[in-house]
């Protein structure tokens, strides 16, 4: 029976030689085995669930101790429920008084099931020599709970019933994100699956099939006309094909028909209108799996964030702290996170969010109803050294939440493209897309070109199917495609690979912010991509004059070469190195370092120019 080793608790400065070897090299010696891959992913999900459970308990324990130490006042116990929505019930004893509070959703049946655990919790704080305990998890009505009790030196004590729903949420999320289950389910949103590049029907019955399928809405089509149709022509189209216009940007329309499916519509438009393109409306999915500003010495610095030293192996691995000696980032640099939204009032993200947009529902705020986007945002910008949760990669970089994926974690090509355009027009310097599919879409590519030509650095995750099939948008030439690495610097067993990969970054068991003001450990190329986006923002902070082309070149040139010498299909040019990239950005040799690439580009421009 194979097993994945736990991610080591790497402390800053620890060498990679001390890390347990990854099973991936052994795994690759044999022919691809879907069952073995599924087993690897299942083990990874369990590892993320265990890490999330530990972080959740530690966070609750810390805040309960803080509450008791402060002493509180009448009514203040309610603040614990506000701070931690996962606390279902709490009772606080101070002197001869007891104050109780509970969430409005708590049922009598839950309290009955919890009573034996609450009795044990109360007993633990009355016994001499004990300061309380944290119980094992127990199940009720399909959900997981635990109890916690603590007693302080001031005589105050507290007992609480806590939901472990975040752990179950991580399990559901990761089973989709790592494609262990077919996702999205066919039939929902009238989705169909095809073999990429062929539009030939296929059926996704199990998670393994995701690596050889693209998904599209069967009753919708994206058409880019050579000349915009008139209102009269649109009316005729509506009548003839029973169409409605779902979205429109310039000459590009998304149509939905009650009468015809995509293939019929595609034949019609190609024959009657000769458009620039008429393509399926593809579905894109998530790809998971402070000091004052100024010069500071971070040589021996260890952030005091709660989970940094024990769980955040990823930041020391890519020399992040050393890089802060060059720059800590800038409040003027904005990274757009095109994802499921972001919890803007998360304690570790407050003050780091700029105005965003909800493309899925323009009437609503870009709030996160999945968890994926908040986790991505935290990797980039969680507050550092605030005695809270996790440390992000940047101290000041702003996050622009652009919600392009719905509550299922899926979104359309059009939504993603519209999000790219909106972010570009509203000042994003970097765009992160931890999402993708195996179908290229012309309208999406148009949007990427629009952003790229306006100087935006574009970063995207490669996917979590352990396949070399090009994933989009990561495989477009304007995009920095990212694969994921494990703690021992091997390509993560779930990570996609191929000649389109630019660089690699840590992606396995990455702790970060999560909705409900909580924290979770997730794995996937979705987690690798924001490391690269964050580094791009730091480089832009260090040297604002650098173009997006120069920044991309610099990330590749300074990456730590892993695997085969030079560029390879697993790591691209290598795993990002924050310190090396930032040193190169501000060093006097940066122009020399990038000079050969720039010369080639300028020469190519001259060759491409039409003769006078």
Q: Which residues are catalytic?
A: 339, 372, 526
Measuring CA to CA, which residue among 477, 502, 594 is closest to residue 545? 594
Rounded alpha-carbon distances, angstroms, from residue 158 to 73, 95, 584? 14, 12, 53
Give bridge partners of residue 140 from the DSSP assignment. Answer: 143
**Residue pair 401/341 in contact by the 8 Å Cβ criterion:** yes
The angle subtended at Cα 136 by Cα 132 and Cα 138, nearest 5°, is 125
Is 485 exposed, middle or buried (CB count within 10 Å of its CB: 0-12, 13-18, 19+)? buried
Our measurement of the distance from residue 540's CA atom to the centroid of its chain's CA atoms, rounded to an integer in Å, reads: 21
Strand 480-485 to strand 501-506: parallel, antiparallel, or no bridges (unpaired)? parallel
Contact in structure between 443 and 221 (CB atoms under 8 Å): no
**C-alpha to C-alpha distance for 370 and 353, rounded to whole angstroms:** 18
H or E stretch covering 339: strand 334-339
What CA–CA distance (Å, rounded) separates 260 from 612?
49
Q: Would strands 97-102 and 87-94 be described as parallel, antiparallel, or unpaired?
A: antiparallel
Beta bridge partners of 284: 411
Length of the chain in terms of residues written: 612
3-state secondary structure of 81: helix
CB 170, CB 54: distance < 8 Å: no
DSSP 10: P
Question: Which neighbouring-strand residues pair with 484?
Answer: 505
Nearest to 252 by CA among 389, 499, 421: 421
Q: What is the CA radius of gyration of the chain?
A: 26
Sequence-distant (≥ 6) Cβ neighbours of residue 74 within 8 angstroms: 99
Measured torsion, CA atoms of residues 338, 340, 343, 348, in degrees rounded to the nearest 10: -60
User: What sign has the CA pseudo-torsion 602, 607, 609, 612?
Assistant: positive
């Amino acid at each position: 029976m194979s097993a994945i080793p736990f991610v080591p608790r790497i402390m800053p400065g620890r060498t990679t030689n001390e890390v347990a070897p990854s099973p991936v090299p052994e795994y690759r010696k044999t022919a691809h085995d879907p069952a073995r891959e599924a087993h690897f992913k299942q083990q990874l999900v369990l590892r993320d669930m265990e890490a999330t459970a530990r972080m959740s308990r530690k966070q609750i324990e810390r805040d309960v101790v803080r509450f008791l130490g402060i002493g509180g006042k009448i009514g203040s116990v309610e603040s614990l429920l506000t701070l931690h929505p996962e606390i279902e019930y709490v009772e606080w004893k101070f002197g001869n008084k007891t104050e109780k509070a509970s969430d409005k959703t708590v049922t009598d049946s839950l309290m009955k099931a919890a009573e034996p655990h609450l009795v044990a919790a109360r007993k633990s704080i009355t016994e001499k020599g004990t300061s309380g305990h944290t119980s094992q998890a127990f199940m009720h009505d399909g959900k997981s709970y635990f109890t916690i009790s603590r007693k302080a030196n001031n005589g105050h004590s507290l007992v609480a019933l806590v939901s472990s729903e975040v752990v179950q949420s991580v399990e559901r999320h990761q089973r989709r994100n790592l494609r262990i289950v077919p996702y999205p389910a066919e039939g929902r949103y009238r989705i169909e699956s095809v073999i990429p590049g062929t539009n030939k029907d296929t059926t996704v019955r199990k998670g393994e099939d995701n690596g050889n399928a693209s998904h599209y809405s069967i009753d919708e089509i994206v058409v880019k006309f050579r000349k915009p149709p008139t209102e009269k022509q649109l009316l005729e189209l509506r009548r003839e094909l029973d169409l409605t216009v779902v979205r429109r940007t310039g000459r590009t329309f998304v149509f939905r028909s009650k009468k015809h499916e995509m293939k019929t519509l595609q034949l019609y438009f190609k024959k009657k209108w000769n458009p620039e393109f008429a393509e399926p409306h593809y579905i894109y999915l998530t790809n998971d799996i402070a000091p004052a500003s100024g010069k500071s010495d971070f040589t021996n610095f260890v952030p005091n964030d709660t989970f940094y030293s024990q769980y955040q192996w990823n930041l020391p691995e890519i020399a992040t702290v050393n890089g802060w000696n060059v720059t800590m980032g800038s409040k003027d640099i904005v990274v757009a996170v095109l994802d499921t939204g972001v919890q803007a009032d998360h304690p570790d993200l407050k003050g780091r969010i700029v105005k965003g947009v909800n493309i899925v529902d323009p009437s609503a705020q870009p709030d996160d109803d999945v968890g994926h986007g908040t986790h991505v945002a935290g990797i980039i910008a969680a507050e550092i050294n605030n005695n809270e949760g996790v440390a992000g990669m940047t101290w000041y970089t702003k996050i622009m939440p652009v919600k392009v994926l719905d509550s299922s974690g899926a979104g359309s090509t059009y939504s993603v493209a519209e999000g790219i355009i909106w972010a570009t027009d509203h000042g994003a310097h970097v765009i992160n897309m931890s999402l993708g599919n195996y179908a290229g879409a012309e309208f999406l590519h148009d949007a990427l070109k629009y952003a790229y030509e306006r100087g935006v650095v574009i970063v995207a995750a490669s996917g979590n199917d352990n396949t070399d099939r090009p994933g989009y948008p990561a495989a477009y030439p304007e995009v920095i495609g990212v694969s994921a690495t494990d703690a021992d610097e091997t390509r993560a067993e779930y990570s996609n690979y191929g000649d389109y990969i630019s660089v690699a970054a840590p992606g396995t068991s990455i702790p970060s912010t999560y909705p409900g003001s909580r924290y979770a450990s997730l794995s996937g190329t979705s987690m690798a991509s924001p490391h690269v986006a964050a580094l791009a923002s730091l480089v832009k902070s260090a040297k604002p004059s650098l173009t997006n082309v120069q920044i991309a070149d610099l990330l590749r040139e300074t990456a730590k070469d892993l695997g085969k010498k030079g560029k390879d299909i697993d790591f691209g040019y290598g795993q990002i190195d924050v310190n090396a990239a930032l040193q190169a950005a501000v060093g006097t040799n940066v122009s020399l370092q990038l000079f050969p690439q720039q010369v080639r580009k300028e020469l190519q421009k001259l060759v491409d120019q039409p003769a006078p």
